[in-house]
Structures are given as structure tokens and as C-alpha cells.
Chain A
Amino acid sequence: MAEKRLRIALAGNTNVGKSVIFNYLTGLHQHIGNWPGKTVEKAEGTLHFKGYTIDIIDLPGIYSLSTYSIEEQISREYITVEKPDVVINVVDASVLERNLYFTLQLMGLNVPLVLALNQVDMAKKKGIEIDVEKLEKLLGIPVVPTVAIKGIGIFKLLERAVEIAEKRETPKMVVKFGKEVEDGIAKLVKMLEGVHCRYPPRYVAIRLLEGDEELEKEIERLNPEVVATAKKISKELEELHGHSCSTVIMAERYEIAGRIAREVQKLSSSTKPRLEERLHNLTTHKIAGYVIMILSLLAIFYSIFTAGGYLSEFLNELFYITEPLFYELFGTGAIGNLMWSVMEGVIAGITIALPYIVPFYIVLYFLEDSGYLSRIAFLMGNIMHKIGLHGKAIIPLILGYGCNVPACLGCRIMETERERLLAVFVTTLVPCAARTVIILGLVGKYLGIEYALALYIFNLAIIFALGRLAFKVLPGEPTALIMEMHDYRWPHLKTVLKQTWFRLLEFIKIAFPLIILGSFTIKLIEVFGLLEPIALALSPVTVTWLGLPLITGIALIFGVLRKELTLIMLATLFGTTNFAEVPGFGPIQMIVFTIVTMFYIPCISTIAALIKEIGWKKALIITIFEILFAITIGGIAYRILIQIFALGH
């Protein structure tokens, strides 16, 4: 017997809760947060339900079938071309009208459709109550109210989706436009009768009148007459209405969406502004907004540093208790030595990297889920313009502090290729969590928090300067910012902790094998007496120009794999995690070493992401540029620091 399979796609505007539903259904962990444009690639997961094997597809948010950026194209492609068995249209109940606009577009595609009326809890808080039965009747498709974050209504949603899929029931309602537009559509539909096209004729007719260039090309090949007629009709409609034909269609569609929304909504407006509202006003205020932004960034920095320091200390003590135990276990011979050196790497990974990474991600996800990121984008609009980008680019940039890889992918929310390239470039300069480990765990710990802070500010200055430079190389006007700012909400603690936990697992799974392998390799190289020659080969740069201890060259090589490895391998090479007692590795060397690691090359995963996003040529240029830049700036810093420290003494 053939396996019963179904494909269900989740589609809808950005930030409505598609990924929350996806995660709930599949047990996977798509990125969740409170800002528009997190999901930029389609994701698939499976589940078993009522004898079916169901593939669930999480799609990027999309406002309209007239796509505007790459991630929207991915969604449209999937819905229109790959035609899932059912589309679950997830809508935000608190912004019903705008969400229904897309629903009305989906209805024209003749795919079985179910509406997930999500975030009804948020709507209720805003004083919006929705008559589900009436909405169901008006739209002619099943409507299931849900609170995805709590799993409410999801089971029912799935049930209805499967039901609709079994019946292969497509929406019966036809979205009717005004008389003139309908006449035009009818004419085109008639012409399309003999044309074999993968889309329904009425959909094609409407899209042509809306001026869909892609579809125009496709139909042009099948029957150029249709396109010519569509253009003629558009012209006539434009003369008649005084607006372009697409404007007329969009306005009429919105009118229908608005009418439905008004009919099913019951509004109870409250008199006093809600807390969310007041918080929004405060955090986007022209003075208070900036003060709050700077203060919260400082507070975050300080708390991560403090929490990380404590954790690190604690873990350190815990681990060094095991040292004698270890020698006892393996003896102090060659094997014991080798095992201990591997152990040293692992301990360094646990005591140096983990303590900073964990609090860091908790804070980042907390921030993301609150909705603060889009406010920062609003405030930073002008500064981002100076590097040729619009405000939204600050969001991938901030995510870059977590990890550059998803941040590079996140740059897809930028609309043009030029802006994506600029955004991707500056993103690779952002010190990710791994580099934070080095800034806080080395400079912060041994020289003081003010030095670490200075390095972050220095890094920001460099990002700005290089961003300006890149802007000069790639001139052009930034496209306009169009960004939805969703209401603040109290971050969902479970989501925050879950996302942190998965990050941590990922880190352990990827980093620790590398650490073990790295430590092993170093020991092997040492046994074969190759450590010196390799380090010596790099010494003109590392020792002569940068003023670093000879052995750091080896650590820097490992940093290409993952940035935190530089410090961890350094611990293995020095044979201690207490860097203060290493001769020849004083404050100046620590700072120079950190500056170099901050910039010298995107790590290998980031390079892979770069290749994927901007092609290998540009990726190579960025990589080489950053190597040269880091070496140059490191050497200059070394010479300046010598002067400064000499003055101090």
C-alpha cells in the first residue's frame, strides 16, 4: 500500500507566528523572535497524523504575491509552483485587515486553504475580538483561532487542514473587483482559455493587470497577444480611474479585506494607552530613545561580562580538581601527556567559551523576542544611511553578535544586491559570540572591563569606517526602509531558554570535536617537531610585525575553523588557562592578539555562508581583504600601544 503523504505549507505575513506553529508541529527549532523577516529560507519537517505522513513547510513571511525581496520570492515560488496539498494561512488577529489582504490573494490560486487566526491573545489585549464563525462564513474557508505560543488550537488546525486536503476543497469564494476591472479580467480569462499555463486563468488575468513582470514574460512565450491585451486594458483602466491599474486593483482588494475585517471585529477601545504603547513611545523617543539604547547596551555588556566571569571562575575550580585524577588514570608518560593536553583543550572550551556564550544568547534572544530590535532599527536609520544601508540592516548586524552565519543569511531582508553585499560585508566584521569569548575572556578578564569595552567601541568605529569605504566602492542610493514595528511583548521565557539551549547543543556538537581534534593535532605536530618550523614560517608577521609570541601563529591558524579556538588552542599551547602567567604575553600582546582575531578572517562557516550568499569571488575578496586589514591594523595598534604603555610607566 502506498504511503499516505501530505504537504502542508505555512504562509502569511511576517511575524505572525508561522515558525512557532512549525516548531510546535515538527519538534524542530526554527528561529523565533519578535521582528519581521527571521525565516529567510523554507524549512521542512515531518509529522505523523491520522495515518498520514505530513511534510510541514515553514515559509518566509510575505506581504503580497507582488514580491519585494528574495525571501518573499521563495514563498511565492513554493505556493504557486510547487503547490502544496494545503496552505495554512497564518494571520495575526490584531492586524486582521492587512493580513486578510494576502489571504484574498491566496484565494485566487485555487489551493486548498485553511486560516489560522493566530495571536488571538494579543488581539484581545488590544481590545479586538473576532467573530470566528462569521469570518468563516464570509471567507468560505475553515478558520481556526490559535494561540500558537501556548499550543492552543494547533491540534484542531491540523485536523481541519487534513480534512480539507482529503476533500481537496479549494476556496469557493471569488474575490470580486469593481465592474470595470471585472470586465477586463473576463476578457483576459476568455483569451487564456486555450493557453496551457500552470496557474489558474483568473489568477493570471489579475496578475497581468497588476503588472507582474515575471508572469508577463512567461505568458509572452505562450501567447503574446494576451499580454498585449492586458497592457491595453490597464491603460484604459488607468485613464478611467486616474490611478495605475495595479493601484486600482490593490485598493479594491484592500476595500474587500477592510470590509470583512470590520464586519467580524468587535473593538473595545481602552482609554488609557497600554503599557506596550508607552514603552514604544519611550524607546523611540528622540532623546530618551538613544539614552535608553546606550544604557541597555552597556547593561547587557556588563551583565554578560560579570555572569561570564563568575561562571568561568566556578568551572575552572571545578575542573582543576580533576587534574591529579587524570594523571593517575593515564600515568604521566607520553599517553598521559597527550590525554591531558586534549583534556586541556576541552577544559578551556568549557571554562572559557561556555561561560560567555550562554548568558550572551539568553540576553540576545530575550531582546529579540521583546521586539526591541525593530526600534533600534528605527533609531539607527540615519547612521546606517551613512554606510549606504537603511535602518533594517542593523538587525542582521545585531544578530551577527551572536553568530555571523545566520546573520549573513539574514541580510536577505535587504532588497537589492548591492545592499545585501554591503550588509554582508559589515556583518562579517561584527564580533560574534566566539570573538566575545576572546574579548571578555582574555582582555576583559586580565586587563579589565574598560579595556574590553574600548575594544568593542574600537570595533564599531572600524565597522563604520570600513562600511563607509565599501559604500564609496559601491555607490548608490540606499533603497527605502519599509519595516513593520510589531507591538512589544513580554518575551516568552520558554522560547528564549529553548533557543539558547539549542545554540548551546550546537556549540557543543560542533566546537568540541574540533577542540579535541585540534588539541590532538597540535600534540602530534609537536611530537614530530613541526611546531617550531610552522610558527617560524609565520614569524615575520606574528613576531616581527605584530609583536606576538612565536607560538600564537599556530593558534591563529586554528581560529580559521572557529574563532574561539584561537584562545582555546593558545591555552593548549601554553599549557595553562591562566594567561597572566605566560611570559611574553603581556597586556599589549593580549590586545593585539584580540584585535587581530576580531578581524583577521571570517571563520570557515562564515566563508561558506558568504559563498552561498554573494558568490565565491566576492567571498574571496572579502576574506583576503580582511586578512590584510587585520594584520595591518594589528601592527599599527602594536606600535601605538607600546607608546601609550611607555607613557603610563
Chain B
Amino acid sequence: MGKRTIPLTALKAGETATVVSIDAVFCKGCGKRWGFEKRLMDMGLTPGTKVTVVKSAPFHGPVEILVRGSRLALGRGIADRILVEVED
């Protein structure tokens, strides 16, 4: 039984995984950190937290997740940068 690290968006609807890390993104052009990884953690997505993917909106829309008892909608762009660990 191995563990795999995959982006949150690779989870199927209804699957639960553990947050490993969130990649920072730098704004194109200005080079400044957007800081959304910090915001996500402030909203509960710290490493080690269990997160459940509920569904994604069609046409590459936002992803709905459950974390620490709250329901969040995340843009796909950032959901892609949340790395989670699943057990095979």
C-alpha cells in the first residue's frame, strides 16, 4: 500500500485526502506573491488536514470541497495547486 501525492483536482467526487502542501503562485509580470496559499491555509487547508472533494462545476468551473466543517468553492486554477496525499 503506497501513498501517492496528487493535485486536489485529480480526486473524484466524494473522495477524501490529506493536504500535503500548496504551491505558491507568483503574479505574471509583477512577480509578486498572490498570497492565496496563505489564505487557503487561513481557511483551514493546512498540511495534514482532511479534505473532501464534493463536486466540480462543469466546463472547468470551480471545485467544491469540505474542510474543517465548512464548504468552500475554489477556482480550478488554485485547486490544481493544492497537493494531497491518497492511499492506494
- Residue positions of A touching B, CB distance < 8 A: 63-64, 66, 68, 94-98, 101, 243, 246-247, 250-251, 254, 258, 280, 284, 286, 374, 377-379, 381-382, 390-391, 476-487
- Residue positions of B touching A, CB distance < 8 A: 21, 27-29, 34-36, 38-44, 46-49, 55, 57-62, 64, 68-78
- Asked if residues B39 and A63 are in contact (CB atoms below 8 Å), the reply is yes
**Which residue of the partner chain, among A64, A247, A476, A485, contacts B71 with CB atoms under 8 Å?**
A485
B16 to chain A, nearest CB (A): 16
- Asked if residues A480 and B75 are in contact (CB atoms below 8 Å), the reply is yes
- Among A246, A251, A254, A486, the one with the most B-chain Cβ atoms within 10 Å of its Cβ is A254
A125 to chain B, nearest CB (A): 14
A246 to B40, CA, bound (A): 12
- Among B42, B61, B69, the one with the most A-chain Cβ atoms within 10 Å of its Cβ is B42
Cβ–Cβ < 8 Å partners of A391 in chain B:
61-62, 73, 75
Q: Is the interface of B mostly helix, strand, loop or mixed?
A: loop
A78 to chain B, nearest CB (A): 19
A476 to B64, CA, bound (A): 25
A79 to chain B, nearest CB (A): 16
- Asked if residues B73 and A481 are in contact (CB atoms below 8 Å), the reply is yes
- Asked if residues B42 and A64 are in contact (CB atoms below 8 Å), the reply is yes
Chain B residue nearest in CB terms to A65: B42
Cβ–Cβ < 8 Å partners of B28 in chain A:
476-477
- Asked if residues A98 and B47 are in contact (CB atoms below 8 Å), the reply is no
A247 to B38, CA, bound (A): 8
- Asked if residues A484 and B72 are in contact (CB atoms below 8 Å), the reply is yes
Contact of A485 with B64 at beta-carbon distance under 8 Å, contacts A247-B41, A374-B73, A391-B73 already known: yes
- Asked if residues B57 and A66 are in contact (CB atoms below 8 Å), the reply is no
Cβ–Cβ < 8 Å partners of A476 in chain B:
28-29
A280 to B29, CA, bound (A): 39
A254 to B75, CA, bound (A): 23
A-B contact pairs, 25 of them (CB 8 A): A63-B42, A66-B39, A68-B39, A68-B42, A98-B44, A98-B70, A246-B38, A250-B38, A250-B42, A284-B55, A284-B57, A286-B55, A374-B73, A378-B64, A379-B57, A381-B61, A381-B75, A382-B59, A391-B62, A391-B75, A477-B27, A479-B36, A482-B36, A483-B73, A484-B73
Cβ–Cβ < 8 Å partners of A378 in chain B:
57, 61-62, 64, 73
The tally of CB-CB contacts under 8 A between chains A and B is 125
B59 to chain A, nearest CB (A): 4
- Asked if residues B71 and A484 are in contact (CB atoms below 8 Å), the reply is yes
**A-B pairs with lowest CB-CB distance, top 3:** A64-B42, A481-B75, A480-B78
- Asked if residues B68 and A98 are in contact (CB atoms below 8 Å), the reply is yes
- Asked if residues B43 and A98 are in contact (CB atoms below 8 Å), the reply is yes
Cβ–Cβ < 8 Å partners of A487 in chain B:
71
Chain A residue nearest in CB terms to B69: A95
- Asked if residues A97 and B64 are in contact (CB atoms below 8 Å), the reply is no
Cβ–Cβ < 8 Å partners of B27 in chain A:
477
- Asked if residues B75 and A390 are in contact (CB atoms below 8 Å), the reply is yes
Cβ–Cβ < 8 Å partners of B41 in chain A:
246-247, 250-251
Cβ–Cβ < 8 Å partners of A95 in chain B:
68-70
- Asked if residues B78 and A97 are in contact (CB atoms below 8 Å), the reply is no
- Asked if residues B44 and A97 are in contact (CB atoms below 8 Å), the reply is yes
**Which residue of the partner chain, among B38, B58, B72, contacts A286 with CB atoms under 8 Å?**
B58
B72 to chain A, nearest CB (A): 6
- Asked if residues A382 and B43 are in contact (CB atoms below 8 Å), the reply is no
Contact of A97 with B68 at beta-carbon distance under 8 Å, contacts A247-B41, A286-B57, A481-B75 already known: yes
A309 to chain B, nearest CB (A): 36
Chain A residue nearest in CB terms to B48: A251
